[in-house]
Amino acid sequence: MNEPSQQPKRKWPWFLLAGVIIFLVSNAFWVYREVQRVKWMKSQRDTNAVLFTLPPGSRPAVSNAVSTNGR
């Protein structure tokens, strides 16, 4: 009787598939972290803009720092 010839099982497509999946997952995670970082930077910028923008009446008087002895 003739047995059907079995092709040898190839392992390299599985390594390639695993590499592609790892690349896609790590790339998605990296993009997610970058989006979070940009959102955080924007919120920090907005917070600093609110904190460091004083109304004109509450700003300290500008004095000449060179003449501190009253001359």
Q: Convert the pLDDT of each residue in 36-59 to its tens digit.
A: 999 999 988 878 776 666 555 665
What's the pLDDT score for residue 61?
Answer: 59
Say if pTM beats, i.e. exceeds, 0.85. no
Is residue 64 scored above 80 in pLDDT?
no
Q: Convert the pLDDT of each residue in 6-41 to its tens digit.
A: 777 787 899 999 999 999 999 999 999 999 999 999
DSSP 10-41: PSHHHHHHHHHHHHHHHHHHHHHHHHHHHHHH
> How crowded is residue 7: how many other Cβ atoms within 10 Å of its Cβ?
6
